Amino acid sequence: MTQLSESDKIRQLAEDYAYSPFMMEQIMINFPDDYMGVIRAFNKPDVDTIRVNTLKSNPQEVKTLLEAKGFHLRPTKWVDYAFHVDSSDAQYRLGATHEYLKGKYYIQSLASMIPVHFLFPQPGDNILDMCAAPGSKTTQIAQIMEQKGTLVAVDAKPSRLRALTSNVKRCGIKNCIIFPFDSTQLNSNNLASFVPNKILLDAPCSGSGIIRGDPNLKKVKNDKDIKRLSQIQKRLLKTGLDLLPSGGYLMYSTCSFHYQENEQVVSETISQRKDIDIIEPFEDIGMPGHEHIGDMEFGYDLIKSRRLYPNLHDTDAFFLCLMKKK
């Protein structure tokens, strides 16, 4: 039997699983240990997940109320105020219930909750969310802060700001200042006397990790957008690290599996700095980031970053890297 060449193998897999050859090759590069497991996992249906807004309710109350409407809820791993939801027998859509409209829960993937979980907000913190809209992580930060301390949420696009403002209001958050601004241009003068001791940078990205929710992402033809986005990501990360005071923490995350948006962005941004350490997360969630891909070296410390894998964790593919300023 004739063995397929690597390029023929990529083309064949791309055809079999409805990917572009470019995206199939990217999966094989970024998941070298089990790319077939990842391909199969991306073909599984997306699972609805909610985060209970503990400012307005508690997990048991929300579970009771939604199950009375026909939803089936089961706890998530890692986050004790979240549930996976089966809506097949429900009387309403998950985003159209009275409880949702009252802000008692937020529809958010489990992977999306982990960046804030690792940043570990505390009541009394000063936290900057650099790319805040539409507000999933902003509202998660706020509920953990228990309305104590200051949260500044920044986003530049008017259409996304409307969604951010709506979600902050719906969730009953009172300690959040929404700042319409381009975060690549942020500096200490823009923020006046506000000095963040923690920063969340959930960077704009290609979204390649959320193929379950958007199968159109299988068909990306080339890396043009990835290259453009990686330049924005590096500018945002440099800005965030410059704003961070000594002893402060910054969480960099994306819903992309491309190393060009993840390990490479972190490595190239901090390689010339002596004031930044990558920090091992306080909880054993996810797998270590790549210290190298092929002959590209990102540095040994990148194994302290984390990746969520669809085949291992039954989540979207996510990248997370917690950094501390010395």
Q: Which long-range contacts (CB under 8 A, 24 or more apart) does 35-40 make?
A: 37/311, 37/312, 38/309, 38/310, 38/311, 38/317, 39/13, 40/311
Q: Where are the domains of the chain?
A: 111-325
1 pLDDT higher than 70: no
Residues forming the active site: 255
* pTM (predicted TM-score): 0.96
Q: Is the separation of the CB atoms in 172 and 53 below 8 Å?
A: yes
Query: 74-88: per-residue pLDDT in tens?
Result: 999 999 999 999 999
Query: 86-104: per-residue pLDDT in tens?
Result: 999 999 999 999 999 999 9
Q: Which helix (H) or strand (E) holds 17?
A: helix 6-17
Angle between helices 136-145 and 110-119 (to 10 degrees): 40
Amino acid 2: pLDDT:
59
Domain 111-325 has CATH 3.30.420.40: no
Mean pLDDT across the chain: 96
Helix (H, G, I), strand (E, B) or coil at 287: strand
Query: Region 248-256: what's the mean pLDDT?
Result: 98
Q: Is the separation of the CB atoms in 198 and 126 below 8 Å?
A: yes
Could you tell me the two tokens for 79? 């986050």
Q: Is the separation of the CB atoms in 151 and 129 below 8 Å?
A: yes
Query: Region 58-64: what's the mean pLDDT?
Result: 98
116 pLDDT higher than 60: yes
The torsion angle over the Cα atoms of residues 222, 223, 225 and 231, rounded to 10 degrees, is -170
Amino acid 6: pLDDT:
87
Task: Say what percent of the chain tops pLDDT 90.
Answer: 96
Residues ≥6 apart with Cβ < 8 Å to 24: 10, 13, 14, 17, 39
Maximum distance among all alpha carbons in the chain? 70
Amino acid 3: pLDDT:
73
Could you tell me the two tokens for 283? 């909880």
Query: 267-323: per-residue pLDDT in tens?
Result: 999 998 999 999 999 999 999 999 999 999 999 999 999 999 999 999 999 999 999
Could you tell me the two tokens for 317? 């593919």
Query: 125-159: per-residue pLDDT in tens?
Result: 999 999 999 999 999 999 999 999 999 999 998 88
Q: With 0-12 CB in 10 A as exposed, 13-18 as middle and 19+ as buried, what is 312? A: middle
Query: Region 231-246: what's the mean pLDDT?
Result: 98
32 pLDDT higher than 90: yes
Q: Which long-range contacts (CB under 8 A, 24 or more apart) does 303-310 make?
A: 304/278, 304/279, 304/280, 305/262, 305/263, 305/266, 305/278, 306/114, 306/118, 306/281, 307/257, 307/262, 308/111, 308/114, 308/209, 309/31, 309/38, 309/41, 310/38, 310/41, 310/42, 310/44, 310/209, 310/212
Alpha-carbon distance of 258 to 27, in angstroms, equals 8
Q: Which long-range contacts (CB under 8 A, 24 or more apart) does 231-234 make?
A: 232/184, 232/203, 232/204, 233/203, 233/204, 233/205, 233/261, 233/265, 234/265, 234/268, 234/269
Query: Region 216-237: what's the mean pLDDT?
Result: 97
Query: Region 99-118: what's the mean pLDDT?
Result: 98
To 5 degrees, how large is the angle CA 25–CA 251–CA 177? 125
Q: CA 106 → CA 14, 169, 179, 277, 306, distances in Å?
A: 35, 12, 22, 33, 24
Q: Which helix (H) or strand (E) holds 114?
A: helix 110-119
